[in-house]
Amino acid sequence: MALVFRSIDEAQPGPKLAGLFAEYWPAYRKWWAQEGYSARPTYRECLRALQKHMPEIMPLYEEVVELVGGSDSQARFLSFYCPPKYLSGCSQAIWRGKTPFLVRNYDYHPKTFDAALLKTHWDGRGVIGMSDGVLGLLDGINDAGLTVSLTFGGRREVGDGFGVPLILRYILQTCETTAEAVDCLCRIPCHMSYNVTVLDAKHNHSTVYLAPDRHPQISDQPVATNHQGHVEWSTHARFTATVERERFLLNRLNQNPESEKRFIDAFLRPPLYSTAFKSGFGTLYTAVYRPASRQLQLLWPGANWDLSFDNFSEGELSLLLPEHAEPAV
């Protein structure tokens, strides 16, 4: 199974972004309309929700909608309002040494993944992040050094709210500190349960447990896997080994403090690194975000990219993923 990662540098929404959207729109549309167009909110409902909860992003949203074609379904999709449900794995942790950083594994199906790292300067704010649905982000950092990353929260409930990738984009476009990001996470409704970890340039961090059916919970936990305090979906927890991964990370952070390199390298091996690609929970990349220096690394077994706001080059990296392996847990 081949996967090609791309790094794309385009300061303002333009032909590169439009091309990326056009390439993936057939797959986006199939996923978004899987339950029928009437199952998704109307354009008016999407617009009202954006205006109420994320008004600062409205001009950008309208510009991107127009850029990619401006159809009703495209506009509704790009609002990320009440999308279909989706599940992922993922592990993330903050190394709390002299200069803290955030490291994460993104576990998902390779055929439903943008595989594009975007560097943008929309509305005067520099952002580098892993694209999801072109407007959304799975993780990223802005030019103020604020870093955010998500993991699935391990709960079945679905409600009215936004897909969390747009919330992450909004945070990086409008916030500079962990406190500001946490305020956004606590007031913007999320349609499913997700854990969002935030780290800023002054080393402040929080993890916020989002859910559609209860108030957000704020934690100083430096680790997030795929549950929120305790396991609420036992089948998913067993399959993804969320408790084992959390315990493994906490032990490495608290009981056996180790070097940066050893801690990062642990994400490239079981139990954190998963090869369950055909089941939709394989580790597609490891990312290391360093807020103090505004730098990031993308890592895979045997390959890596080192990037920053001052040193960002466009390119491609082809990877071969094992097709039949399952997680070693």
Q: Residue 321's pLDDT is what? A: 81
What is residue 324's predicted lDDT score, i.e. its pLDDT? 52
* pLDDT value, residue 326: 47
What's residue 2's pLDDT? Answer: 85
Rounded CA gap, 92 and 20, in Å?
Answer: 27
Which run of H or of E encompasses 161?
A: none
- Share the mean pLDDT of the chain: 95
| Count of residues in the chain | 329
Question: Concatenated DSSP letters for 307-318?
Answer: EESSS---EEEE
**DSSP one-letter code for 212:** S
pLDDT of residue 323: 63
pLDDT along the chain (329 residues), means of 10: 93 98 97 96 98 98 98 98 91 95 96 95 98 98 98 97 98 98 98 98 98 97 96 94 96 84 96 90 96 97 95 94 53
User: Do the strands 91-95 and 101-108 form a parallel or antiparallel pair, or are they unpaired?
Assistant: antiparallel
Instruction: Name every residue whose Cβ is closer than 8 Å to that of residue 110 and which is 6 or more positions away in sequence.
Output: 1, 3, 277, 282, 284, 321
The secondary structure element, H or E, covering residue 163 is none
Distance CA 224, CA 218 (A): 12
Residue 163 to residues 20, 79, 190, 305: CA-CA distances in angstroms? Answer: 20, 9, 6, 28
| pTM (two decimals) | 0.96
